[in-house]
Every structure is written in structure tokens, then in C-alpha cells.
Structure 1
Amino acid sequence: MKRILFMGLLAIAMQAAAQKKPNVLFIAVDDLNNDLGAYGSKLVKSPNIDRLAARGVRFDRAYTQFPLCSPSRSSLLTGYRPDVTRIYELRTHFRSILPDVVTLPQLYKQNGYEAIRIGKIFHYGVPGQIGTNGLDDSLSWSRVINPKGRDKTEESKVVNLTPARGLGSALAYYAADGADNEQTDGLIAEEAIKVLEQKKNEPFFLAVGFFRPHSPYVAPKKYFDLYNLNDIPIAGDIEKDLEDVPPAALFTNPPNWGLPVDKLKEAKRAYYASISFMDAQVGRLLDAIDRLQLADNTIIVLWSDHGYNVSEHGQWMKQSLFEKSARVPLIIAAPGAAKGKASARTVELLDIYPTLAELSKLTPPRPLDGRSLAPLLKNPAAKWDKPALTQVRRGPDTIGRSVRTERWRYTEWADGKAGVELYDHQADAGEITNLAKDPAYAAQVKELAALLRKSYGLPLVRLKTAGQ
């Protein structure tokens, strides 16, 4: 009788475990490119992101849909392309266009999760809106926390190498005094750990948004000390590099904003110091997950809203369609997924929403524009035929649209009227030689132009829009 009772209780416990909702730790990093140890950097020190990659699947060809904070985040979090959200700049809120859309965290909130935001998930002006709600979406969250640290209160100490530009879009830095937990990102990590401790026995969707390495590049001095200025590489002038590039392709004009190499090295070291500082905060989260024994039932996603140029083609920051700006780090560690593997498939930030929905057995109320990455989490080399699309806007009239396959990047500016670019990543990973006008590649241009038009011309999901 006791044995029967025990077996019955065991069966109930096993069924309850099987039905337990997975937690989600959703880590967003602002302006982070792929200069990370896990992605092959021999210089940048990112041991904690590297160990997260060892726990899950690292996507080597993941791309933003729009290399600017608000358009990218609005796209990822709604599950729709920028041409559906119609968010192309930093001021318009997506709910003014799509008032009834259900965002990714909102889907969890509607299905019994506490959805908690700490730091920057939807758009914030940095550094101006640190400590506020920024351009947040109140319908998405059960609770929000907005830390503010010394990086905000000590802005007057920041060195701006490009004083004509505001701090949020400047090459500007500060090697700060004090400890990690006096900085905003350190406080964000502390608050996140508190939430993990409070919610360890309940299903949670915890969104943790770090502000660094977004400019100004602020981190405690010890992270600057990790990098010797003499070791910081700056892309040199490559003969004829920009001669075959359409003017619309360039965001940084003049190249490198006219700064000398020594100042560029200062900026790039500060960017890398900010990465290492942020990485340390990621490590604190991973330590808490392990200490609280949450790893077996927690999906961890780490992503950046876009890439970041650090002198390639004389370009800095985002808002370009070059690989360094369009490509993002994306790592997913999930129960049952492969561990320590890399996928070379072209994927998009848009794919995160349907992936998490599938892994959590949730159904979005409408079809999404992305595709679940669940098959690639099981088999990173699985068959995959979806290209990645990235677009950007130059003023009111010029749109750049790019399509990325595993080998090629093809870009049109203003439907080709303002220029075309073609790069063969198999032979030219640095995108130095534009092949678009080379007769030998005419067939490839024709094929990719057709793919670009087909991809961007797919019927858009029709949602209720403002004024309808």
C-alpha cells in the first residue's frame, strides 16, 4: 500500500514538474556589437557572456531589423517588422500606430507570469532618461524598476571627444571612481537578483536591460585598466575602401568625425571597458540563477538591439547597413537545447518573440513576422532557408534595405536610385569591395534583388491602426 501511495505521489510530482511553466530571463544590452570572446575576439574580455554561450546556442549570423534603438526594440518586442510598426526614429511610440498589439512581455503577463522590467527594454534616451520610464509601455509590465547611479549624477565628468554631438551620440567616456554597484548597470543587476530571490518559486518573465556599452562609455576604472591603449586596433585607411560606397551608406561624416588615431583609441578602449563592466553584471545574474537552482527551468536570452561600428570604413556607432552595425550577438540557453554550440544560420531579432512563445507553450494572438528558432536550438545546423532583413532611413525620403544570406549581403538605397551594394562574405568579411557594378556578378545582383523585393514585399499583418 505504501509503495502504491509513493508511486502515485511520484507520478503527481513528475506531472507537476512537466507542467511547470518555464521562467524567462530576458537580458537586453544597449549598443553591443560582436566584439566578444565567445564570438572570436582575442582582445575583449567578456568571460560571463562567454560562459552563457557555453550553456546554450550562440547565433553567429543574427541581425537587427533596424540599427537604431527604438525601431529595433519596437520590432523585436511587438514581433513585427519596422514597416508594420512604422517606427523609424526615437520619438514615436509604437502604440500610436498599433494600439492593440500584444507585446512579448505582455503575452507572458496575460498568461499568469509576473512580467518585470528593470532598466532599458523599450526605448530610453541615454543618458538623459536614465532613472525614468523613458518611452516605456505600461501595458507590458506587472512591475517596473528604474535604477539611477553615479554615471547619471556625474555626467559633468564625462570627456566628450566630439563636443558638437550630444553625449548619447558622442565619442565620450569616463573612467569612474567607486564600485560596480554605484553605477546604474550595477544597481540594475542588484535589483534583478532581488527579484530572482523573491520569485524563485513562481513563474517570471524578468527583463533586465543594461545601458552599457551605449555612449557615453562609463565604467569603473578597473575595467579601463583591462585594456592597454597601444593594443587597441583602429581600422586604417584602406585604399579605395569608400570609393565604391554610395554616399547614403555612410552615417559618420567625415569618416571618424575627423578625430586623430590617438583619440579614436581612447574611445574604443572606453567602449570595450564598458562591455567588460556590463559583462560582469551578466555574471552576477548567472551566479544568482545557479545559486537559486533556477537554471533547469529558466530560458535565458541575451541580445543587443543592434551592432556597433568602431572605426570600420571610418564609421562609428549604428545607423548603417554594414555588417558591423547590422549584426548582433544573440545567445539562447534553454532547457533541452544544445549546449555550447553555434549556429551559422541567418536569423533575426524578430525571431525571438515566436521562439520564446513556442518554448513556453504560449500562443500570440496574431501571426508574427519572425520564425521560431526552436529547431536551431535543438540542431544548430538544421536546414534553414530564411534570409535576414535590415533597413535604415536617411532623412524623410531615402530608405536603405539590405538582405543577408549566409554568403552575401545585398543592399539598395532608395530602391537602387541612390546606390546598390553587394558583398561576398566568403571572400570579403570586411565588406571592402562592392561588387554591385562588376559585370561578373550581374546574375548574383539580379537574384538577390529579386530576393530583397520578395522579402520586403510579403503581405504585412493588418492590425488596427490609430485613427481606424
Structure 2
Amino acid sequence: MRYVFFTIIFMSFLFCSHSEAQEERPNILWISHEDLSPIYGCYGDEYASTPHIDKLAKSGIIFSRAFSNAPICAPARTTLITGMYAPSLGTQNLRSDIPVPEDMKILPEVLRGAGYYTSNNVKTDYNFSFEGRWDDCSKTAHWRNRPEGKPFFSVFNFMITHEGPINALRSEDTAQLKEHHDPDKAKLPPYLPDSPKMRKIWAHMYDLLSVFDNDVAHLLEQLKEDGLLDNTIIFVFSDHGHGLPGHKRWLDNSGLQVPFVLHVPEKYKYLVSNINTPKTDQIVGFVDFAPTVISLAGAQVPEMMEGKNFLGEKSQSKKYTYGYRDRADDCYDMSRSVCDGRYIYVRNFMPQMPYFQNAIIFHKAGSYEEIHRLEKLGQLPEGTQKMLRRKPAEQLFDIKNDPFEQNNLINKNDLQDVVANLSEKLNSWMLKHHDTGLFNEGEMMQRAKKSHTSVFEMARDCSDQEFARILEAAQKVGKIEDVKELIPYLKDEDSAVRYWAVVALDAFEGDISAADDILTSLLDDNAESVAIKAAELKIKRQNDKKALDTLAKMLKLDFEPMVLQAAISTRLIGDRAAPLIPEIQNEIMPRYSGEVWGRYKNWLYPMFIGMALDQTQINCGYEIKINK
């Protein structure tokens, strides 16, 4: 009897101890950095020097198929923190200020409600206000500032690997390193010219990664000092691909695939029970990070979140990841992608726009400057030259056998089933989420304002049939054989349909005279987005004076997102904008001038409007000084 009594007591102690261990919630630390593809040493890159990340990976999990959902900062980080696809919210364009649903709670808000202390040091770039959503979001934010005993979710964002430092080649950025990477040993991808300067930039990028590796070591040491390393789940990842041409801003695997190493202490291994290998090929996207962290914390994932938890007993595997590219800086583009881990399918909805647009952002120092120098000398490899030409409307790449994505397989006979499947998956995804990229940026915001709702809610107030009609028009871009196919769309009652019909006209390389009368009438369209695009096209094809007057009027609007569209169209007409220069210099530019780069009022729309109008002046023979 006595034996039975002590056995019961002992078993009860074990059960309680196990229950308490399970109930003890983990701390969660995100260590993120800018602009690098999967080149950690633990990914097999022998050129890299990342001993601290590699050591963490040895006792953790390496994700070989982790993807950002966007190849540039703001939409990628918006997706991360919301668990929502950026085009679903309307936050897909670079640095905008979008009204989001009042009841939307982002990751730190959900965790705060579950009793976590949340801190972010320091980058946000969410395309909506972060005020009040963190316990601390500042340059001094740290888990060490939390109330005693509280679990924490802390984010540290490191800028050292950003495209700015990568291209600047500043020796002070890597002064802490004892050894530097040898440019002669660099292995450049085929879409970058193999020149001494490009090799230096490539080697410097790896040096900056080594600096980040030291930053990781510093944070791990702080966890050890605080006795928290065994209580903290750690995510280490990049926000998108390299800050170099062919990666950042490029909607293909090189722009979207990211490194992601997950460290889970022994006591929390039961939380990742679905993964029992040191390396996993499970597909995960940034949209999945927020619901996964919430699940790790034992909290309830909001129904609104569109991502899926990828860890533990209740994990949900995914067959596909989706990507999006929209306006970046003052460069309009609109592309969507879907990847099944082997093939990536890309639909370019503005194929007439090359990746290298004639814009200030593509004339900056470093790799871009080097490409332009070699272009003038006729020394660019074919892989680089493709970046300066218009894009195909559709692309399919086999990333297993063609990791540099140089061979477009879209017309390969034995892959048409793959193309059809991925194309259908992409269409269904765009329609399911009411992809707001199907609206011109300014009009998207005007529609939301008119309906007194967020962009998300405005889009969902549109019927599935309305969205299907808009997508149908957008799919005409780059695909028509006769301009007459576009006439019904140019006359459609929905301005978004008319807008895409004009874009399709712009992309058509043949004679568009059959639509000229309609195009002329669209200069007075009640949708400013349509009138601006019609004016741009009329000037490019016919040097139309009335169209110039339309652009001049639109540049004077008070609504900055629409002024930006007009400024971009003005940039795209080249030296035909010369008659507008006096008004640009004396009336329009002063409204957007300030101290950013010694030129612009702030980092949002005024900066991009100013950049577009500065390039316009350069196109017309004026010299502009920008202190970047």
C-alpha cells in the first residue's frame, strides 16, 4: 500500500512537471536582415563565412524552401507582420499609407493580448501606421525592458546588408572583420557582368553578411547572459533576395527565396513535432510567419489572417507560395507569381516595362552604375541585356535545373500541363483574395475613401464577377493580336477595366489607330487613372498636344497618389515632356521639395513624385543634383 502511495505521488509529480513545462510559454526572437538570398554557410555556400548562424543551424532546422511574398521591403514586411497577403490589404506598393480595417490586429497586438511583451528594434516599413501596436518600437527596444517574468516576442532588424551598403563599398562597414572575401574567388550569376567592380560588390556583400553573423552572435550572447537561450525560439531570416539587379525588385525565385534558420530549444521540440529532420523542404511563405508564431505562443490565430501555421501538430502544409511585385519607388510594374517548389510561373501584367526603367533608382551608384557603364561599351552579357528589354507576358522557370532562371519554358510542349495548373492556381488566388493590384494605386485609394472603408473592405464589397471582369481585362495585356479585341473593354462601365484596356494598348507593339477615337475620348475620362494612362500613350505614339494638357492638369492635383501616376507617365514620355518643364520647375516641384536626399519633402509620395519629375527634367536635358 505504501509503495502504491509513493508511486502515485511520483507519477503525479512527473505529470505536473510535464504539464508545467508545456504550459511555460516560449520567448520568441526574430533576427531579420535586409536584402540577401540563401547564402549562409549552412546552405552549402562555401564562399560564405557565417560560423555563428551555422552553429545555430546545427542544432536547429534549415528551411530550404522559404519565400518572401514580395521582392522588396515594404510589402514583404507588411505581409510578415500581418499574416495577410499585401494585395489583399492594398499594401503592395512601396511606402504608401493605406487605410486598413479598424479591427485588424497584427502579430504583436495578438501576442500582447496573450500576455507577451513585444518589442521591435527598429524598422517597420508596414505601409500603415504601427503606432500603439507594440509595447516598444524604437532604437532602444529590447526584451530586457520587459516587466519581470513576462514572456517576450522581440524583433531585431539589421540594415547592414541593405542594398545601400552593398553597393556603396564603404570600408568602414566591414572594418570589424579580420578577413575579407577575395573578389577573385567570387562566383557571379550569369545575369551580372563579370567585371572587377562587380566582383568587389559581390565580395563586399558577403563581407556584410559576416558582419550580420557577428550581430547574431551578439544577440545570442545576450540571451546566454540573461539565462534565456534555453527558453527562446529563434528565427533568423532575410526580407527578400540580394540587393542587386536580378534579385531585389525581380519577381522570380532569386528575388523571393530567402534563408531561414529556426532554433528551437529542447524543451520546446514538441511544438515543432511535424519536422524531425535538420533540413526541411516544406514550403513556407512570409504570410505564414505570424500565424505560426501565434500558435507557438499558444494564442488564437485571428480568422482574418490568411497565412497558415507551419509548425507542430496542428500545422498545415502548403503546395504553393505566391508572390507579388507592384510599384517600387517611382516605377510602376505589376506581376504575380506562383511556385510549387520546382517550377515558378510569373504573369507580367505590364510586360512593356523592363525591369531597368529609365528612372533615378536605376541610375544610382554601385552595381547599377556599373551595368550602365558596360552597356555603353557594349560589354553586357545576354543575361544582363534581358533586364533592359521588355518582359514576356508569361514566364516559367525550372528552378531545380535552371537555378539562375535564364530559360523561359512557357512554350515548351511537355510542360503545358504545368503551365495550365500554375496559371489556374494564380488566377484563383487573385480572385479569392480580391487582389487590389488590379486597381490603379490612386484609384484603389479613392474608391476606399469614397466608400468610407479600408481598401481591404472596399475590395470585398466588389462582387466576384466584378473582379473576374477586371482580371479578364488585365490578362489581355501582352496577349492580343488585334486592337479591336480591346474595344469592349475600353468602353466598359468599370474604370478599372478601362484602365487595363489602355495598358494593353500600351503593351501592343503594332498599329493602335483603330482605337484612336476612343483613346482620345478617354483623355476626359471621369477616372483620373484612365485619363493619365491614355494621355501617356497618346503622347508616346502621336505626340498629342491635348494629352500634354491632360498630364499638366493631373500634375496639379492635390491627391498625391494620383499625382505620382501623372509624374511617372510624364517621366515615361521622355523629352516630349519639354513643354511641361517650366510648370514642373516653378509650380509643381516646390510642393514636394525638402531635405530628404537634399531634394524631397519626405520618404513617401513626395519623394517618388520628385524622383519621377527629376528624371523627367534629366530626360529633357537639365542637370539635377541629388545627394543620395
Q: Which residue of 1 aligns with 2:426?
A: 452
CA drift at 1:227? 0.8
1:6-405 aligned at under 5 Å gives the runs 15-94=19-98, 96-120=99-123, 122-123=124-125, 137-146=130-139, 192=142, 195-196=143-144, 201-214=149-162, 215-217=164-166, 219-223=173-177, 225-236=179-190, 261-308=195-242, 310=244, 315-334=245-264, 335-336=268-269, 337=272, 341-375=278-312, 384-393=317-326, 398-405=333-340
Distance 1:423 1:224, change over 3 A: farther
Q: Which residue of 1 aligns with 2:583?
A: none
Q: 1:432 corresponds to which letter in structure 2? A: Q
Q: Distance in 1 between matches of 2:20 and 2:255?
A: 45
CA drift at 1:196? 4.3
CA drift at 1:308? 1.5
CA drift at 1:34? 0.7
Q: Which residue of 1 aligns with 2:542?
A: none
Q: Distance in 2 between matches of 1:377 and 1:55?
A: 23
Q: Which residue of 1 aligns with 2:559?
A: none
Relative contact order, higher structure (CA 8 A, sep 6+):
1
Distance 1:460 1:58, change over 3 A: farther
Q: Distance in 2 between matches of 1:5 and 1:98?
A: 53
Q: 1:327 corresponds to which letter in structure 2? A: Q
Once superposed, what is the RMSD of the aligned Cα atoms? Answer: 3.4
8 A Cα contact 1:78 1:102, kept in partner: yes
Runs (5+) with no aligned partner, structure 2? 353-391, 437-447, 459-628
Q: Distance in 2 between matches of 1:72 and 1:103?
A: 14
8 A Cα contact 2:252 2:337, kept in partner: no
Distance 1:293 1:377, change over 3 A: farther
Between the two proteins, what is the percent identity of the paired residues?
Answer: 23
8 A Cα contact 1:213 1:275, kept in partner: yes
Q: Distance in 2 between matches of 1:123 and 1:104?
A: 15
8 A Cα contact 2:31 2:236, kept in partner: yes
Q: Name the larger-Rg structure.
A: 2
CA drift at 1:317? 4.7
Secondary structure in structure 2 of the residue aligned to 1:345: coil
Q: Distance in 2 between matches of 1:461 and 1:11?
A: 49
CA drift at 1:272? 1.1
Q: Which has the higher helix share?
A: 2
Q: Which has the higher strand share?
A: 1
Aligned length: 384
8 A Cα contact 2:289 2:307, kept in partner: yes
1:421-460 aligned at under 5 Å gives the runs 421-459=395-433
Q: Please give the per-residue CA displacement for 1:140-164, whole angstroms capped at 9, x wherever unaligned.
A: 21123316xxxxxxxxxxxxxxxxx
Q: 1:274 corresponds to which letter in structure 2? A: L
Secondary structure in structure 1 of the residue aligned to 2:281: strand
Secondary structure in structure 1 of the residue aligned to 2:64: strand
Please, which moves more after superposition, 225-234 or 321-330? Answer: 225-234
Q: Distance in 2 between matches of 1:446 and 1:66?
A: 23
Q: Under a length normalisation based on structure 2, what TM-score does the superposition of the two structures give?
A: 0.55
Q: Under a length normalisation based on structure 1, what TM-score does the superposition of the two structures give?
A: 0.73
Q: 1:98 corresponds to which letter in structure 2? A: P
CA drift at 1:288? 2.9
Q: Distance in 2 between matches of 1:459 and 1:28?
A: 27
CA drift at 1:91? 2.4
CA drift at 1:226? 2.5
CA drift at 1:320? 0.4
Q: 1:112 corresponds to which letter in structure 2? A: G
Secondary structure in structure 2 of the residue aligned to 1:374: coil
CA drift at 1:89? 2.8
Secondary structure in structure 2 of the residue aligned to 1:58: strand
CA drift at 1:365? 3.1
